[in-house]
Chain A
Amino acid sequence: MELVLSPEETAFRDEVRAFIAENYPAEMCVPNPETDLTKEQMLLWHRILHKKGWIAPLWPKEYGGPGWSITKRFIFEQETTRAGTLPPLAFSVTMVGPVIYTFGNEAQKKRFLPRILSGEDWWCQGYSEPGSGSDLASVRTKAVREGDHYIVNGHKTWTTLAQHADWIFCLVRTDTSAKPQSGISFLLIDMKSPGVTVRPIITIDGSHEVNDVFLENVRVPVANLIGEENKGWTYAKFLLGNERTSMAGIGRSTRYLERLKKIVKAEIPEDDPAHLEFVRDIARIELDVLALEATELRIVAQMARGIDPGPAASLFKIRGTEIFQDITELTHRAIGNYGLAIREHPVSANHFMPGPDYGHTASEKYLNSRKLSIYGGSNEIQRNIIAKAVLGL
């Protein structure tokens, strides 16, 4: 299914397609780009997109965005995900960047935005805490004003790729007497500050993506406060909205489904009764994708006409993650007994993995994708949002 494109939009789509084909670094084509690349390798594509002026489709032109229409942005997203390119670091480009240009002061914009675009600064997200997951407004990390600095103490967790980060944007409590939502501030903290410690959290797939970040008497210049003190919750909500829009993940799901079809074709002979069952299951998921894609296109078309999508992002998040979990589960099932094997991390060519190459990441993807219905606001929370904001319950 495609949007109805004007000749100019069609030309743009072809241009994006050709650019990816010609420029996507071969070095980044590894079995599992999310776990197998070094920081430097991850940044290769980022830098290429930056040079081309395409690194931040969402950003207004004055801050370095390409100035695309909603439709063009959507085309770009579609083409890059279908091709399986590693998206630029979301915490930098999609999350903190827009917060800074929307709510930050001139000095902050000047200081941080160019370095986000160029990839010089790697950002991570200091939102969740051990006691604050779904209930984010209960954050307890405290920032106490002392002259020109805040003294920050607390413990952030599930911090994705903090091991690579130069900066962390944090929700901190600046007023303990106010209502939970009203006492929060949005603070930018240099990861090199004394008192910042990163501790790896290994997940069930064996990889190291997330971390604990401990903040112990960290001195943060007041100049690093975004907007007004105690207004951080407004900025945080703005950011979470951005986090969820890309979660339909149609391009990724489509790509994984194509791969699954190839695996089934290779692994399961047509006269095996399991074959028909896989064919049926794949078709069912394909229809799930089709329905979600149609919904996404309908909403994109509405947005292009200036209609507010409301909490559509929650719908995308719920269905997009459920669909991807179904695909990774079915892929894991498709490889049969080889699904018992899992790659060791850090990945090395010295470790033997049995079975065909296409099955080597099936186990870890299946395990890793369990996180999708938990992070970025659990799917239970997303359903609450729709119940409240759409259904008025």
Chain B
Amino acid sequence: MDIQFTEEQELLRSSVQRLLRDQYDFDARRKIVASEEGWSRKHWSSFAELGLLAAPFSEEVGGLGGGPLATMIMMQEFGRHLLVEPFFETVVLAGGLIEDIGSATQQATYLPDIMSGEKVWALAWSEGRSRYDLGHVSTTARREGGSYVLSGTKAAVVAAPWADSLIVSARTSGERRDRNGVSLFVVDRHSPNLHLQGFRTIDGRRAAEVALMNVSVPASQMLGREGEGVAALEACRDRAIGALCAETVGAIGELNAATLEYSKTRKQFGATLGSFQVLQHRMVDMFIAHQEALSLMQHLNLSLASNEAGRSRLASGAKSKIGYAAKFVADQAVQLHGGMGMTDELNVGHYFKRISSINIQFGDPAFHVLRYAQLDAAA
């Protein structure tokens, strides 16, 4: 199994590669991260102009019809360049949800602004005690006339400080950990009674804790059916994992290349590091980890693209296996670079941090290996 990419897909890859090579080297990224806002609207506009923000969406909703494979191709390149702009949050998470469960009106209202780069979105699902359980929701939404009133606190919402709109999960019925009774709402980030407390993430992004203190949302902004939000979030998570695995593979590839290069030039005891057998074997294991991760990433995204029945279980399997592989590679890349790997100056530590962060987002490798096993038992 190896994907034979179409001409269109190759074109997408090479145009993303060219753009990032020209405009998003490590120094450019460093400046973006250090800037007041922490991301680049200028680059965001370039992504929109190139059609990247429209690429995965189906043609029916005005996209380019690239699907999960287009996302995979782009995310892999974003991983190589440690891109901080909220493509994942806006296009993959929010855009994917709107395309999947939004009404025709909602799709027509929200998606054009996403594809044109006008609006940035974030997904607020996690809470203080939720860990990786999508159904663990204490935030409530109570019906009042033509509106819902949302109350509760959402934790660690990545890209929230940049976002115009949020998709918020809130309970319309049931108990805190019930699978049923969770609904999704589109909430204007600047709504009255919505408060953000921003902070930096380990991988150089911005996130926020979002406090909703009786935020009124028109009933028309409920996304999908009332009480069925968890199923929608699960499908969203599958797509998210497909994207994050691709980003991880991009990062692993760069770490391996950098480590190999370093081991061929760095000399100690009169010999290159690469001549020491113990390090050779280590790098062979890193190579194997990359190969396996790459294969599994393709396998998963093909499965997502064709809506295969087992895709959700496979997503958990891939998140776990690729997560562990990435952790191994990142640990060893830092170790083999010695003190340099610990510095803020070198890119290696930044890949390490991005991988550490991906290994938290939507569930760590241990969480997903268990889910993989449990779904098998259920089948």
Chain A contacts to B: CB under 8 angstroms:
128, 131-135, 138, 157-158, 201-204, 206, 210, 267-268, 272-274, 277, 332-333, 336-342, 344, 351-355, 363, 366-367, 370-371, 373-375, 378, 380, 383
In the bound complex, what is the Cα–Cα distance between A333 and B359 (angstroms)?
9
A204 closest partner in B (C-beta): B349
In the bound complex, what is the Cα–Cα distance between A158 and B343 (angstroms)?
10
Residue contact A370 to B342, C-beta cutoff 8 Å:
yes
Q: Does B199 contact A (CB under 8 A)?
A: yes
Q: Which residues of B contact A374 (CB under 8 A)?
A: 334-335, 338-339, 341-342
A375 closest partner in B (C-beta): B339
List B327-379 residues whose CB lies under 8 Å from chain A: 331, 334-335, 338-339, 341-345, 349-350, 352-353, 356-357, 360-361, 364, 366-367, 370
Residue contact A353 to B199, C-beta cutoff 8 Å:
yes
Q: Does B156 contact A (CB under 8 A)?
A: yes
Q: Does B70 contact A (CB under 8 A)?
A: no
In the bound complex, what is the Cα–Cα distance between A277 and B199 (angstroms)?
30
Given A133-B268, A380-B278, A337-B339 contact (CB < 8 Å): no
The digit string for B294-337, where 1 denotes a CB below 8 A from any CB of A, is: 00000000000000000000000000000000000001001100
Residue contact A135 to B126, C-beta cutoff 8 Å:
no
Q: Which residues of A contact B269 (CB under 8 A)?
A: 134-135, 138
Residue contact A341 to B338, C-beta cutoff 8 Å:
no
Q: Which residues of B contact A268 (CB under 8 A)?
A: 131
Interface size on B, residues (CB 8 A): 47
Residue contact B353 to A337, C-beta cutoff 8 Å:
no
Residue contact B201 to A342, C-beta cutoff 8 Å:
yes
Given A339-B360, A353-B199, A371-B342, A204-B366 contact (CB < 8 Å): no
In the bound complex, what is the Cα–Cα distance between A373 and B334 (angstroms)?
10
Q: Which residues of A contact B131 (CB under 8 A)?
A: 267-268, 272, 274, 336-337
Residue contact A202 to B345, C-beta cutoff 8 Å:
yes
Q: List 13 A-B contacts (CB under 8 A).
A: A204-B344, A206-B344, A336-B131, A337-B360, A340-B361, A341-B156, A351-B199, A355-B155, A363-B202, A367-B202, A370-B331, A371-B339, A374-B342
Given A157-B339, A203-B343, A277-B366, A337-B199 contact (CB < 8 Å): no
Q: How far is the CB of B307 from chain A (nearest CB, A)?
A: 28
Residue contact B198 to A352, C-beta cutoff 8 Å:
yes
Residue contact A344 to B200, C-beta cutoff 8 Å:
yes
Q: Does B110 contact A (CB under 8 A)?
A: no
Q: How far is the CB of B222 from chain A (nearest CB, A)?
A: 25
In the bound complex, what is the Cα–Cα distance between A336 and B156 (angstroms)?
10
Q: Which residues of B contact A210 (CB under 8 A)?
A: 339
Q: Does B207 contact A (CB under 8 A)?
A: yes
Q: How far is the CB of B11 from chain A (nearest CB, A)?
A: 34
In the bound complex, what is the Cα–Cα distance between A352 and B197 (angstroms)?
7
In the bound complex, what is the Cα–Cα distance between A210 and B338 (angstroms)?
14
A381 closest partner in B (C-beta): B268
Q: Which residues of B contact A342 (CB under 8 A)?
A: 200-202
Residue contact B339 to A204, C-beta cutoff 8 Å:
no
Residue contact B353 to A338, C-beta cutoff 8 Å:
no
In the bound complex, what is the Cα–Cα distance between A286 and B287 (angstroms)?
33
Q: How far is the CB of B74 from chain A (nearest CB, A)?
A: 22
Q: How far is the CB of B345 from chain A (nearest CB, A)?
A: 7
In the bound complex, what is the Cα–Cα distance between A189 and B156 (angstroms)?
48
List B227-241 residues whose CB lies under 8 Å from chain A: none
In the bound complex, what is the Cα–Cα distance between A310 and B166 (angstroms)?
62
Given A157-B339, A202-B345, A336-B131, A354-B209 contact (CB < 8 Å): yes
- Please indicate which of the listed interface residues B200, B335, B339, B341 has the most CB atoms of chain A within 10 Å of its own CB: B339
Q: How far is the CB of B264 from chain A (nearest CB, A)?
A: 16
Residue contact B200 to A138, C-beta cutoff 8 Å:
no
In the bound complex, what is the Cα–Cα distance between A230 and B278 (angstroms)?
33
Q: How far is the CB of B240 from chain A (nearest CB, A)?
A: 14
Given A133-B339, A352-B199, A370-B334 contact (CB < 8 Å): yes
Q: Which residues of A contact B339 (CB under 8 A)?
A: 128, 133, 157-158, 210, 371, 374-375
Question: Which of A204, A332, A354, A371 makes the CB contact (< 8 A) with B155?
Answer: A354
In the bound complex, what is the Cα–Cα distance between A210 and B201 (angstroms)?
23
In the bound complex, what is the Cα–Cα distance between A66 and B267 (angstroms)?
44
In the bound complex, what is the Cα–Cα distance between A363 and B353 (angstroms)?
10
Q: Which residues of B contact A272 (CB under 8 A)?
A: 131, 133
In the bound complex, what is the Cα–Cα distance between A138 and B341 (angstroms)?
21
**A-B contact sample (16 more), CB < 8 A, given A352-B209, A367-B349, A380-B279:** A132-B268, A133-B339, A203-B343, A206-B344, A210-B339, A274-B370, A336-B130, A336-B360, A337-B156, A338-B155, A340-B202, A340-B203, A340-B207, A354-B209, A370-B334, A374-B339
Residue contact A201 to B343, C-beta cutoff 8 Å:
yes
Q: Does B192 contact A (CB under 8 A)?
A: no
Q: Does B128 contact A (CB under 8 A)?
A: yes
Q: Does B158 contact A (CB under 8 A)?
A: yes
Q: Which residues of A contact B343 (CB under 8 A)?
A: 201-204
In the bound complex, what is the Cα–Cα distance between A132 and B207 (angstroms)?
40
Q: How far is the CB of A40 from chain B (nearest CB, A)?
A: 26
In the bound complex, what is the Cα–Cα distance between A133 and B279 (angstroms)?
16
Q: How far is the CB of A279 from chain B (nearest CB, A)?
A: 13
Q: How far is the CB of A239 from chain B (nearest CB, A)?
A: 19
Q: How far is the CB of B136 from chain A (nearest CB, A)?
A: 9
A354 closest partner in B (C-beta): B209
In the bound complex, what is the Cα–Cα distance between A383 and B344 (angstroms)?
28
Q: Which residues of B contact A380 (CB under 8 A)?
A: 276, 278-279
Q: Which residues of B contact A383 (CB under 8 A)?
A: 278
Q: Which residues of B contact A333 (CB under 8 A)?
A: 364, 366
Given A333-B366, A374-B335, A380-B278, A338-B352 contact (CB < 8 Å): no
Q: Does B132 contact A (CB under 8 A)?
A: yes
Q: How far is the CB of B38 from chain A (nearest CB, A)?
A: 12
In the bound complex, what is the Cα–Cα distance between A378 and B340 (angstroms)?
13
Q: Does B42 contact A (CB under 8 A)?
A: no
Q: How far is the CB of B207 from chain A (nearest CB, A)?
A: 6
B153 closest partner in A (C-beta): A354
Given A133-B338, A354-B155, A337-B345 contact (CB < 8 Å): no
Question: Which of B126, B352, B357 makes the CB contact (< 8 A) with A370?
Answer: B352
Q: Which residues of A contact B268 (CB under 8 A)?
A: 132-135, 138
Question: Which of A134, A354, A366 makes the CB contact (< 8 A) with B338?
Answer: A134
Residue contact A373 to B335, C-beta cutoff 8 Å:
yes
A352 closest partner in B (C-beta): B197
Q: Which residues of B contact A354 (CB under 8 A)?
A: 155-156, 197, 199, 209
Q: Which residues of B contact A138 (CB under 8 A)?
A: 268-269
Residue contact B201 to A341, C-beta cutoff 8 Å:
yes
Q: Which residues of A contact B128 (CB under 8 A)?
A: 355
Q: Which residues of A contact B158 (CB under 8 A)?
A: 340
Q: Which residues of B contact A336 (CB under 8 A)?
A: 130-132, 360
Q: How far is the CB of B172 from chain A (nearest CB, A)?
A: 23
Q: How far is the CB of A393 from chain B (nearest CB, A)?
A: 12
In the bound complex, what is the Cα–Cα distance between A278 and B129 (angstroms)?
16
